[in-house]
Structure 1
Amino acid sequence: MDGWRGRLLVATPAIVGGVFARSVVILLDHDGDGALGVIVNRPLESEVHHLLPEWSGSVTSPTLLFQGGPVGLDSALAVGVLADPAPSAGPPAGFRPMAGRIGLVDLDGPPPEPQAFAGLRVFAGYAGWGPGQLEAEVEEGSWLVLDAEPGDLMSRHPDSLWHDVVRRQPGDLRFWATLPEDPSEN
């Protein structure tokens, strides 16, 4: 079962505080054992070259470290999008496919050739849910499960990604993009 692998979790206004408020998460794994993803719209102030200087030429702009979630903040993981969905020589060394062209890239190996990827980001930590936990949060209205578009994971404007994803939805849902972050300011 791939469940929602490769789809976006978009925080609803029901999540009012913490790292998940107005977050957009790409689900890298989702099955009967739980779910794993990274928040793609939380850039930190640290440049990747401060943490992993040899990787600075391989990451997508903005070349910042991103907060991937509240779990494992003392570790980093790289997520890449293959430039070619079926490279003739096979995937680059250290690439582990997760959802289509999206996969994890081993930070312990040498940096990949930049042309191998359409984009690559480094995340501090990740978001994780136990069996049934994410499904319960979706059912209670905390998350929307939406299709990802090709530019979402590597958006050059991660700070506006929540608004952009919500705004492109059909029907009344797109009006959520006009809600102020603090409802008391309305």
Structure 2
Amino acid sequence: MGGDPRGGISAGPAAGVVPLAVLADHGEGTVDGADIATVLPSARVGAVEEVTGRRDGDRPYFYDEGDDGDSYGFALDQWVGRECPVLRRDHLTGDEEHAANSFAGFPAVRTALALGLGDGPNRALARLWRWTPGILLPNGIHVYGPHVIRERNDTYEVRRYAPRWTLDGDDGDDSGLFMRHHTAPVTADAPTDAYMS
């Protein structure tokens, strides 16, 4: 999808039309078994019957947890570059809170919570996962998403050999990216927060 995705959202007369880059690439999908909003090609924006999702004022919602569950939508008034944050609306109070920095970060955050990882094993991964579920850096280092981090750490027995550290990525060969847990005490003589081994 080329250009700025904001135009498609603000100009779209149909509730729930959310043509952000990630949705445009994937078109549709599910989270925890529930459908997310479907992106329509711009020529079909007026076809309301073909749109999933709903719009409440300036909040297009793309995911509902179901009966008695919370809703997730975009904060169209809070753009950061080509993305806008995902907000969670409490189904009881209507209060909103920040859930992720981007649509791609939404499933990463949900996966981390579902797997018992909380925000992430350290601050750096928590920030990354709010934007994307892992990343392949230009230097060849793959920083893990929440869907693989536990398996990689279990496979290499990181807890046994380096209990205060987490294997957060690798270079595809023999080196791993290790970062200390955010719960480890920070002292002047503490080892650095990240290193390749």
Q: State the TM-score, normalizing by the size of structure 2.
A: 0.25
State the structure with more CA Rg: 2
The structure showing larger relative contact order (alpha-carbon pairs under 8 Å, at least 6 residues apart) is 1
